[in-house]
Chains A and B, each alone.
Chain A
Amino acid sequence: MNAPNEANARRKFLQLSGAALASAAVPSSVWAFSKIQPNYDPLKEYPYRSWEDLYRKEWTWDSVGFTTHSNGCVGGCAFKVYVKNGVPMREEQVSEYPQLPGIPDMNPRGCQKGAVYCSWVKQPDFLKYPLKRVGARGERKWKRISWDEALTEIADKVIDTTIKRGPGNICIPKRPFAVISNTGYTRLANLLGGIKPDVSSMTGDLYPGIQTVRMPARTVSTFDDWFTSDLILMWHKNPIVTRIPDAHFLTEARYNGARLVNISSDYNPSSVHADLFVPVKMGTDSHLAAAIVNTLISGKHYKVDYLKEQTDLPFLVRTDNGKFLREKDFKSDGSDQVFYVWDTKSGKAVPAPGSMGSKDKTLKLGAVDPALEGTFDADGIKVTTVFERLKAEIAPYTPEATQAETGVHPSVVRKLAGWIAECKALRILDGYNNQKHMDGFQCGRLKILILTLIGHHGTTGAIDTTYEGWRLEGNSELGAVKGRPGRSVSMVLAQWVWGEQYRRSKAYYDDAQLKEQIGFGVDDMEALRKESEAKGWMPKWQSIKDPVVYINGGINLWATSNGYSHLAENFLKRCELLVVVDFRLNSGAMYADIVLPAAAMEKLDIRETSVTRFIHAYGQPIKPMYERKTDWEINVALAKKIQERAKARGISRVEDPEIKSWIDFDKVYDEFTMDGKVVTDEQALRFVMERSKALGPGTYEEAMKKGFVAVGPSAGKTAPVPADKPYRPFTVNVTDKKPYGTLTGRLQFYVDHDWYQRFGATVPKPQVKGGHLGPKKYPFKTNSPHTRWGIHSFARNEKWLLRHQRGEPDVCLNPKVMARKGIKDGDLVRVFNGQGEFFAVCKVAPSLPEDQVFSEHGWEQYLYKNMTHYNNVGAELINPLELVGGYGHIKYASGGFNPNRIFYETTVDVEKA
C-alpha cells in the first residue's frame, strides 16, 4: 500500500562508504608538500570557478507557498514551502513580522520540526488512502477501501447506534490544531448529540487551581512581553526546549537586565540560561511557593492598596464557621453572592462591589478603605479577613521549615524572595507539569498569589499558563448549532470509567500511605467522583453512556493517558466502531477499525494561538495528494453520507430529551453546510475570518498572501490587543476596575466551599506532605516532560530527528544510579512497577537528581519493545478539589475547570534489561 522506501539505495551507499572510510589514519609521510609545485596559489586566486554553478543550481524552485506547523504546539510560525516539480522540497521561516517599538521582533519563528516537515511528510507512515482493519484490532492487517465504503459504514453505524442505544453513544474527541479543521468536528458532534471530551484535561494541560483565582486560568501575554520583565521565573516549564520560537525573548530579556530563574528538579536546558537555578525536589514546589509567600508576607513585601482593590484578601470571613460573610447572613432574602469588607473609616462591614451578586459592576471602592488585617464584630458576627486567615495558615512554612521537604537551602529561598520583592515586572512561566502533581492545584494558587502580593498581576507582570486562543466570533458561530449543545465531558473522568482507571489506581497506590499524606485514598476519590456527578457538578455521561462509535480526529489515542495497554483493552470493549482521522498512522490509529487519511500540509486553514498577535495560514502550498481530504472536507463528506443513508433508510428525527435536543438525520448535511454556504474549505474559512471582529474582510487574502495576518484589538479575551505594545491579559481589571469573572469579582484566594473546608484548602497552602504519593517500595519518581524533539507524538518518528537522538526511546538516569545498578550508557533498561513496564535505552545525565527516571514524552507505542509504552507505568489520581461545582465560577468548564490528569506521583524501579 505504501511504496517501499529507499532502503536498497541506502544500503548500497553504506557498503560503499564503510569500505571507503575504513582506513583510519593518514600517515604523516603524506605531508610532503615540498613535492607539490603549484602553478597558482589557491589562497589568493582560483582559475577554475565555473563549477560553482553546481551548488547554485541546488538552490532553485518552481513555486513558493505558505504553511504553519502548529500541530499540538502553541507556537504559530509562518513558513515558506519551496515546491519543485509539484513536490514540497524545503521550508524556511517567513521572517517578515513587523517590530513593536523597543521590543525585539518575532523573526524568525519556527523550529527544527518545521524545518524537516517536507521530509517527514514523505515518510511511509503518512496516510494515502482510507484503510479498513482486516485482522484483529491492533494486528496491523489492513485493506485499502474507497471513501464511499468507509463513509457508508460509519454513517450506518452512527444511525444504528443512535436508534438502538439512544443518542449520546457517539463520541468525537478531536484536536487537529487548526480552526476549521477542529470546528468541523464540533459542528458534527453538536448535530449528532455526540460526546465532546475536554482534550485539555486529557493531556494534563488544565490549570484548575488558577481557575479558582481568575477566569480564565489559561491565558498568556503574547510572548514578546517577556522582554518587558525584569524577573522571570521558569517554573515547571522548560521554555528553552518547549517554546523554541520565543526562547530568544528570554535570553534577550537577560541581556536587557532581567534576572532569569529556573525552578526545576533537574538542571535542564533552561537552567543553562538562568541566573539562578533552584533545585527543588520533584513535586514539593507547593512548599517552596509557600515559603516564598511566607517570606514576602513576613517582610511586608506586599502592595496594600492593590490587594484591597483587586483581591478578596480584605473580604470578611466568619470565625465561627469559616464561611465568607454574606448578605444572607444579615437578611433571610439576602444574596449569597454579596460579600463584605471592613471599612476602617466608618468602622463597619460594608458590601464589596463587583462580586457576582453585587449590583455594582466595578472594583472601585469609592470612599471605603477596607481593612486588610484584624478581627471585627459585624452586627454580632465575629469576622476576620481572608488575609488574616492566609497569614495564619502560611506562617508555619518558613524557608527553614520547608527545607527538609524541598531540599532548597533557606538562603536560596530568601535570595529569590528578595529578588521578587524588589523587581518591577515579575513574570512567572507556569508549565503544565505543575498540575500533573497532586499538589499542583494548591501550588498554582500559590504561584499566582506570589505575583499578586507584589501587585504585578495585570499591571507590569503576568503568570503565563498556556494560550487560550484569540477571540474569533466567526469560529464560535461555525461550531455552534442553536438548540444542539452536544455532550461535554471531562476526558479524565471518561477514561477513569471507560478505561477502568479506578481499578488500576486502586491496585497500585497504597491507600494507607495516601491517607497519611493527603487524608484520602483511591476509594474516597471514586466515591467523591460519584458524589460530584450526582450533585451535577461534573458531567455524568461517562457513567450512563458508552463510546460505541468513537470518531477520533487528530488525537493520538491513549498516548497522553496512563496505562496504555490497560486502557486500550478496557476502552475497546465498549467501542464497536473506532474511526481515526489523522494524517499519519500513529499508535492509536493502529487499533482503529477504519482509518481516514487527512491532508497534512495540503490544508487550507488558519491557526489561532495567542502567543503572538498573528494568525497563521495553512496556505495549501500544494493540493491534497493521493486520496487525502482536509478535515473539513471529511466532516462535510460524512454529514452528506449520513443524510443520504438516512433518507434511503427512511430515518428522520430522533428526539434527545436528556439534553433537550434532537437529531435530524435526514438534514445533517444541509444543517452542517448551512444549506450550502460552507461546503468548501475556503467558504468555511472565509466565514470564520470575515465574521470575526478581530479579523474581518480582506484578512483571508492577506493571510494567504503573507502567511500570517495580525489580529485587531478585540481578539483579546481579557484585555484589548494594543497596536504598539505586546498583549498582556487582565490589564483592564486594574485600569478600568473591571471585576474578574470570579464569585467575589476579585482575584480570589479564599474558597469557602464545603469540600475546600473539608480538605483544608480554603486558602492556598500545601495539600501534600511527605513528598511523592507513589508506593515507597519503588525508589524512583517518573518525569516525562515535553521534548524538543516532538510536539507530543508529532514528529517523534521523523527520521532526521531520530538521527539526532538514539534512534529509539531513551531513558535518562543519574550516573551514580547507573553505577549502582550496573547500567551503562546505551544499555537497554526495563522500567517497571506493579502496573506495568517499558523498555528503553539508557542515556547518562549528570544534570539529573538521583531519585528520577526521566523520559521525555511523546514516544509512539510502536517504538517500544513488546509494544510497551512509557505511560504503562503511570497511575492516576483525582484531586477532589477539582471535582467541585455549583460555586460561582468554580464549576465544570471544558478547557477550564475539571479534573486534570494527575500522574506525576507515580514511582518506579529500573533495571538492566
Chain B
Amino acid sequence: MSSRQLAMVIDLNKCIGCQTCTLACKSQWTDRDGREFMYWNHVESKPGKGYPRDWENAGGGWESGAGAAGSGGDKLKPGRLPRLEEDYGIPADFNYDAALFQEGEQPLRPMQPMQWGPNWEEDQGAGEFPNGYFFYLPRLCNHCTKPACLAACPRQAISKREEDGIVLIDPSRCRGYRYCVAACPYKKIYFNPLAGRSEKCIFCYPRVEKGIPQACAYQCVGRARHVSWLDDKAGAAWRLVHEWKVALPLHPEHGTQPNVYYVPPLSTATFDAEGKPTGTPRIPADYLVSLFGPGVQAALDTLRREIARKEKGEASELMDLLIAYRHGDMFRLDRLGSQP
C-alpha cells in the first residue's frame, strides 16, 4: 500500500461523450512513437463491447477469494491479449495527397481498413425505439490498490508509487512479456511494438507533481472529473466515495480495488405500448449493478433524493459538490492540504 492514494471520480451524469479527455490525453502522451493505437484514456458508449473490443470478457483480475466483497483473492485469473486490428483497431492513415492533389476521383479513405476503434459503438447502446438507451463511460488505468498487472509482471517492472499510489511500468525493466496486459481486467495496458515494452496511463504524474491535474481531468469540458487524495476528507473523492457513497468503482468483482470511481447515470423513463411514460428508468437497474456492483441502487436513490431537495429550493451539499461552481475546486492536489 502506498502511504497516500490520489483518486479520481468521474460523474457519468456530467459526461457528454465529447472525447475531449481522450484527445487531451492523446495529444499529451500517445500521438507518437508506437503509442498511436493506444488510448490511455477513452470514452465508450455503454452498453456495448467497448474498447478494446469485448474487454469485459477478456479475463484478468483476481479470483474471488474469501475476503470482503470486492477485495478479491490472491490468485490471478487468466486473461487474453486483445488483437491489434480486430480489438484495438489500427490507427489508420489517410490518402490525403492522392484524394486532394492527384488527378482522378479517389475518395479520402483509411489506407488500411478499419475494423474497430476506441469509439466504434458511439451512441449505439441497446433497447428499442423509443426506449433505446445509452450512456458514456470514460475509462483509464484505475491505479488500483491491488493491481493485478503488478502481480503478473515477472520482471517486477510494475510498481505503485509510495507517495501517490500511481501505478507505473518501468520501461527500462519491462521486456514486453505482456503478462500485465492479460492480467489487467480493464485492459488498460498496451504493448508498444516499436519500443518492445508495455505502456499505460501514468496518471499524468509529471503534471501532478507540479500540482496540475491530469490532462483528462483538467481539460474535461463537461466538468465531470474530480481529483483528490482519497484520505482528504475535504476532497471530492473522499466525500463522494465514503461520505455520500455515490461514487463507485467499475467492476469491483475483479478484486483490484480501483481508484477511479464513477457517479452512476440517471436516465429518463421508458414508454409503455401506448406511449405513456412508465416511471421506470430506461437504463436497466441490473445492468448498472453488473457494472458498478450492488451499491448502485443506493447511490442513484441518494442522487434523486438530493436533486429533489434542490427542486424544492432546499440546500444540498452533495449537489453543490457535483455542480462544482469553481472548476479549480474539483481538484485538490496540494500535498500540504488537508490531512486525515
Most buried by B among A2, A808, A847: A847
Q: Is A533 an interface residue (CB 8 A)?
A: no
* Complex-state Cα separation, A800 to B31, whole angstroms: 9
Residues of A within 8 A of B309 (CB): 257
Residues of B within 8 A of A20 (CB): 191, 193
Residues of A within 8 A of B150 (CB): 42-43
Interface residues of chain A: helix, strand, loop or mixed (majority): loop
Provided the pairs A55-B202, A800-B31 are in contact, do residues A14 and B112 lie with their beta carbons within 8 angstroms? yes
Q: Is B340 an interface residue (CB 8 A)?
A: no
By the criterion CB–CB under 8 Å, are B268 and A25 in contact?
no
Provided the pairs A95-B218, A115-B219, A863-B107 are in contact, do residues A90 and B27 lie with their beta carbons within 8 angstroms? yes
Choice from A56, A124, A135, A803 contacting B100 with Cβ under 8 Å: A124
Residues of B within 8 A of A590 (CB): 100
By the criterion CB–CB under 8 Å, are A806 and B114 in contact?
yes
Residues of A within 8 A of B27 (CB): 89-91, 115-116, 118-119
Choice from B124, B178, B205 contacting A26 with Cβ under 8 Å: B178
By the criterion CB–CB under 8 Å, are B79 and A26 in contact?
yes
Provided the pairs A26-B81, A42-B158 are in contact, do residues A248 and B20 lie with their beta carbons within 8 angstroms? no
Q: Is A17 an interface residue (CB 8 A)?
A: yes
Q: Mark A86-97, 1 if CB is under 8 A from B, else 0.
A: 000111110100
Provided the pairs A51-B171, A108-B218, A867-B107 are in contact, do residues A412 and B277 lie with their beta carbons within 8 angstroms? yes
Q: Is B70 an interface residue (CB 8 A)?
A: no
* Complex-state Cα separation, A442 to B159, whole angstroms: 65
Within 8 A of A (CB), among B122-145: 122-130, 132-136
Provided the pairs A14-B90, A54-B171, A847-B125 are in contact, do residues A407 and B275 lie with their beta carbons within 8 angstroms? yes
Nearest chain A CB to B214 CB, angstrom units: 12
Which candidate, A264-272, A357-365, A459-467, A718-726, is the interface stretch facing chain B? A264-272
Within 8 A of B (CB), among A95-121: 95, 99, 102-105, 107-112, 115-116, 118-119
Provided the pairs A248-B223, A850-B129, A860-B108 are in contact, do residues A140 and B102 lie with their beta carbons within 8 angstroms? yes
By the criterion CB–CB under 8 Å, are A804 and B122 in contact?
yes
Residues of B within 8 A of A845 (CB): 123-124, 132
Q: Mark A1-37, 1 if CB is under 8 A from B, else 0.
A: 1101111001001101110111111111011010010
Provided the pairs A92-B24, A125-B96, A274-B268 are in contact, do residues A40 and B156 lie with their beta carbons within 8 angstroms? yes
Residues of B within 8 A of A92 (CB): 24, 215, 218-219
Residues of A within 8 A of B101 (CB): 1-2, 124, 140, 142, 585
Residues of B within 8 A of A912 (CB): none
Most buried by B among A95, A112, A407, A415: A112
Within 8 A of A (CB), among B249-290: 265, 267-269, 271, 274-277
Q: Is B18 an interface residue (CB 8 A)?
A: yes
Residues of B within 8 A of A850 (CB): 129
Q: Is B26 an interface residue (CB 8 A)?
A: yes
Count of interface residues, chain A, beta-carbon cutoff 8 Å: 131
Q: Is B92 an interface residue (CB 8 A)?
A: yes
By the criterion CB–CB under 8 Å, are B271 and A802 in contact?
no
By the criterion CB–CB under 8 Å, are B156 and A51 in contact?
no
By the criterion CB–CB under 8 Å, are A116 and B26 in contact?
yes
- Name the residue on A nearest B160 (C-beta): A43
By the criterion CB–CB under 8 Å, are B93 and A799 in contact?
yes
Residues of B within 8 A of A33 (CB): 76, 151
Q: Is A864 an interface residue (CB 8 A)?
A: yes
By the criterion CB–CB under 8 Å, are A10 and B97 in contact?
no
Q: Is A277 an interface residue (CB 8 A)?
A: yes
Q: Is B14 an interface residue (CB 8 A)?
A: yes
By the criterion CB–CB under 8 Å, are B326 and A36 in contact?
no
Provided the pairs A18-B84, A111-B18, A804-B122 are in contact, do residues A140 and B103 lie with their beta carbons within 8 angstroms? yes
Q: Is B291 an interface residue (CB 8 A)?
A: no
By the criterion CB–CB under 8 Å, are A254 and B22 in contact?
no
Q: Is B231 an interface residue (CB 8 A)?
A: no
Residues of A within 8 A of B269 (CB): 276
Q: Is A62 an interface residue (CB 8 A)?
A: no
Residues of B within 8 A of A36 (CB): 154, 156
* Complex-state Cα separation, A634 to B16, whole angstroms: 39
Choice from B83, B93, B130 contacting A24 with Cβ under 8 Å: B83
Residues of B within 8 A of A799 (CB): 92-94
* Complex-state Cα separation, A18 to B37, whole angstroms: 12
- Name the residue on A nearest B207 (C-beta): A59
By the criterion CB–CB under 8 Å, are B154 and A247 in contact?
no
Residues of B within 8 A of A38 (CB): 156
Size range of the interface on B? 35 or more
Q: Mark B1-31, 1 if CB is under 8 A from A, else 0.
A: 1000000000001101111101110111101
By the criterion CB–CB under 8 Å, are A788 and B18 in contact?
yes
By the criterion CB–CB under 8 Å, are B84 and A135 in contact?
no
Residues of A within 8 A of B73 (CB): none
Residues of B within 8 A of A805 (CB): 117, 119, 122
Interface residues of chain B: helix, strand, loop or mixed (majority): loop
Choice from B85, B118, B127, B267 contacting A803 with Cβ under 8 Å: B118
Nearest chain A CB to B67 CB, angstrom units: 16
Residues of B within 8 A of A51 (CB): 170-172
Most buried by A among B37, B111, B151, B206: B206
* Complex-state Cα separation, A411 to B134, whole angstroms: 25
By the criterion CB–CB under 8 Å, are B20 and A111 in contact?
yes
By the criterion CB–CB under 8 Å, are B156 and A863 in contact?
no
Nearest chain B CB to A651 CB, angstrom units: 37
Provided the pairs A17-B37, A251-B13 are in contact, do residues A257 and B179 lie with their beta carbons within 8 angstroms? no
By the criterion CB–CB under 8 Å, are A849 and B156 in contact?
no
Q: Is B175 an interface residue (CB 8 A)?
A: no
Nearest chain A CB to B17 CB, angstrom units: 6
Q: Is A123 an interface residue (CB 8 A)?
A: yes
Within 8 A of B (CB), among A270-287: 271-277, 279
Provided the pairs A254-B307, A255-B307, A845-B124 are in contact, do residues A25 and B23 lie with their beta carbons within 8 angstroms? no
By the criterion CB–CB under 8 Å, are B14 and A5 in contact?
no
Nearest chain B CB to A829 CB, angstrom units: 15
Q: Mark A857-873, 1 if CB is under 8 A from B, else 0.
A: 00010111111000000
By the criterion CB–CB under 8 Å, are B158 and A244 in contact?
no
Provided the pairs A95-B218, A248-B223 are in contact, do residues A16 and B162 lie with their beta carbons within 8 angstroms? no
* Complex-state Cα separation, A411 to B272, whole angstroms: 12
By the criterion CB–CB under 8 Å, are A866 and B105 in contact?
yes
Choice from A5, A245, A269 contacting B93 with Cβ under 8 Å: A5
Provided the pairs A40-B156, A274-B268 are in contact, do residues A411 and B105 lie with their beta carbons within 8 angstroms? no
Residues of B within 8 A of A59 (CB): 28, 206-207
By the criterion CB–CB under 8 Å, are B94 and A797 in contact?
yes
Q: Is B69 an interface residue (CB 8 A)?
A: no
Q: Is B34 an interface residue (CB 8 A)?
A: yes
By the criterion CB–CB under 8 Å, are B311 and A257 in contact?
yes
Q: Is A626 an interface residue (CB 8 A)?
A: no
Provided the pairs A110-B221, A125-B96 are in contact, do residues A104 and B323 lie with their beta carbons within 8 angstroms? yes
8 other A-B residue contacts (CB within 8 Å) besides A24-B83, A267-B129 = A45-B159, A55-B29, A105-B326, A247-B222, A255-B13, A276-B268, A803-B89, A808-B110
A-B pairs with beta carbons under 8 Å apart, 30 shown? A5-B96, A21-B83, A25-B78, A26-B179, A26-B182, A28-B78, A33-B151, A40-B156, A42-B160, A55-B205, A58-B29, A93-B219, A110-B20, A111-B18, A119-B27, A123-B96, A141-B103, A244-B20, A245-B221, A247-B18, A254-B307, A257-B311, A259-B311, A279-B129, A279-B130, A407-B275, A409-B276, A807-B109, A807-B110, A847-B129
A residues adjacent to B (C-beta < 8 A): 1-2, 4-7, 10, 13-14, 16-18, 20-28, 30-31, 33, 36, 38, 40, 42-46, 48, 51-52, 54-56, 58-59, 89-93, 95, 99, 102-105, 107-112, 115-116, 118-119, 123-125, 135, 139-142, 230, 240-241, 244-245, 247-248, 251-252, 254-257, 259, 262, 266-269, 271-277, 279, 407-409, 411-412, 415, 585, 590, 788, 797, 799-800, 802-808, 814, 843-850, 860, 862-867
Please name the 10 residue pairs, one residue from A and one from B, whose CB atoms are nearest each other, closest first.
A257-B310, A46-B159, A847-B132, A409-B275, A17-B193, A107-B327, A42-B159, A115-B23, A846-B132, A257-B311
